[in-house]
Structure 1
């Protein structure tokens, strides 16, 4: 944009937090804070008056809260919104609802609603803003959250899975996952592993939400857990998740806190590389919306071992970064978001058929 600084409106009911967030953003040189708002009503007035490029939004506010504010903005004045939320189960649940409504990214407040140590996540906040300026607004319209009645689950047989599906997602990922995972069949015939770039608590909330919506059981992965077919394992925040073959021959999960990859933990590449190693030609890598290149190297490794790779297509992505790199590095086949559940199920069936005939 020729040196133009992106304009940001900061919304938080705490004057202290507004000042700290403003200072972090102002020091970046990439963004400028054009105004602050103390609640949702104030935010709506200033969005119309100041026309900011991006809004940072606290979800827990008096009068008009963050979710109601977000719903209005995405319906009447759509623009990228970055949510700041407390590192608590309650905050995580509200944040997940915000992501369903169209928020782009989530930045955790490390020590609650008023975080004296917000500087700890200054880098994460600026990365979220950088992602926000790259979003495709056409794919951020308001979506009514799905009903929360639990979907009936088929009884598992505890059998090891011969086929693996590894999914990578970042910016816009939660909404994409909610379009894909609930539409996978209960008898898919594969274990599904998901890496979504999110902090702890938030990944747990995501797993619970997907479990409610999906015929396949969904949960955060546990260290040492035996992998079963027709189950979905979500990498816990702040941990890489890998698959390994144990001494008993069973495939199990391994969690670790090795150094972040591509600046994130969990990262998809460690998972994908382990899936390629353990499952070889019986593996499928799927790279969804997100900024950067996480998942591209892992998808390429899966393809080199005889597996397959799919990528969300440009038109349906919120940010066409990770999928673009997967197409380039792994020759992943681009697929529209609406068609990915069927594409995954069909590919798994093909991989299972090849396994039987080999």
Structure 2
């Protein structure tokens, strides 16, 4: 059996050694070399043509973000980022995912984590998943999201918006509109999700007539950075949801890492409920738990979206939504998924009403709502 050839990049000799040992303990993985910084990573990647690269963010000479940007332009290869649990680390990780990183693993205790073995299983899992996508990276067939320009909000709480699918007319971002509790969009995604969310949410108009409840598999701290980044790009408002918050139209609410997100009805209005019950299928937040809570809502028109991600989170919840009431589903097509696990599971279960590529999800959703 051909092994997965990995290039490990970190400025710490200790971390290079430990990460290499963790990966090589798996019989399916071979560490072919190590690099001390981004520049050395680029050079060795050209020479060795690895299947997957692990890339630290904070490095001298050339940091991980600079190296990643060059890799995606010159020699696309699946990259798993190693990130710290700091605010700066979270912001940099979101940027890395925008640039094309496959996924990331957090270092438990800073740049030099003596306890890196705690995330060893996750690192191996992500490297193996990334290796399965190497053909698409090399062929350049992964979806690309053109980033709209970031325009800071004015004192009147407006933003100029350029549609993500190309240049066009700019629209002012208006204030938040109260939701009458009769419409709700729910969305679940995992690996590849941040970039996919950017593609969908930046294509929605400010006057979008429903709230959007989102579960994106991410650790605590990273979802806040994701929400802030998306909010700076979108016509709609994007926020990390708070417990007890009323859900309003024209706003996307992202579940905080480490918390399950449910939606409940209070006096005819929709309200967020957060809790820290046991993970479901290894996930907290869980798409299934969000979807199941929404299945119990009455007199609400519901639309459910499942996008790129590993595993099958969301399928059981979507089935319960279908069993208990009317819901229209939109499932991302394989052609645009970074990982086709979650969408595939929903399609195979016969739960897909619409199967469309990433660039068509927002348009499809708007047509269905109107």
TM-score (norm 2): 0.89
> Following TM superposition, where does structure 1 have runs of at least 4 consecutive aligned residues deviating by more than 6 angstroms?
none
- What's the counterpart of residue 65 of structure 1? 63
Displacement of 1:204 in angstroms is 0.7
- What's the counterpart of residue 207 of structure 1? 227
- Deviation per residue, 1:305-340 (Å, 9 max, x gap): 211111111111111111111112213421111111
Output the CA distance in 1 between the equivalents of 2:250 and 2:148.
22
* Structure 1 counterpart SS, 2:296: helix
Displacement of 1:29 in angstroms is 2.0
Q: Which runs of 5+ in 1 are unaligned?
A: 350-358
Tell me whether 250-259 or 101-110 shows the greater mean CA deviation: 250-259
Output the CA distance in 2 between the equivalents of 1:142 and 1:306.
33
Contact 1:37–1:46 (Cα < 8 Å) also in 2: yes
TM-score (norm 1): 0.92
* 1:262 maps to which of 247, 267, 281: 281
Q: Pick the structure with more helix per residue.
A: 1
Output the CA distance in 2 between the equivalents of 1:83 and 1:166.
28
- What's the counterpart of residue 273 of structure 1? 292
- Deviation per residue, 1:133-192 (Å, 9 max, x gap): 232323447766442213353122433431111111111111111110011122221110
- What's the counterpart of residue 147 of structure 1? 149
Displacement of 1:210 in angstroms is 0.9
- What's the counterpart of residue 181 of structure 2? 161
Output the CA distance in 2 between the equivalents of 1:97 and 1:33.
26
Change (3 A) 1:292 1:249: same
- What's the counterpart of residue 123 of structure 2? 125
Output the CA distance in 2 between the equivalents of 1:114 and 1:39.
15
Output the CA distance in 2 between the equivalents of 1:29 and 1:263.
24
* Structure 2 counterpart SS, 1:43: helix
Contact 2:145–2:199 (Cα < 8 Å) also in 1: no
Contact 2:87–2:221 (Cα < 8 Å) also in 1: yes
Change (3 A) 1:139 1:201: farther
Change (3 A) 1:17 1:254: same
Q: Which runs of 5+ in 2 are unaligned?
A: 153-158, 160-171
Contact 2:181–2:300 (Cα < 8 Å) also in 1: no
TM alignment of 1:95-106, pairs within 5 A: 95-106=93-104
- What's the counterpart of residue 190 of structure 1? 210
Q: How many residues are treated as equivalent by the alignment?
A: 346
- What's the counterpart of residue 83 of structure 2? 85
- Deviation per residue, 1:204-236 (Å, 9 max, x gap): 111001111111111101111122222110011
Output the CA distance in 2 between the equivalents of 1:144 and 1:334.
22
* 1:10 maps to which of 8, 11, 14: 8
Output the CA distance in 2 between the equivalents of 1:241 and 1:256.
7
- What's the counterpart of residue 169 of structure 2? none
- What's the counterpart of residue 50 of structure 1? 48
Contact 2:80–2:105 (Cα < 8 Å) also in 1: yes
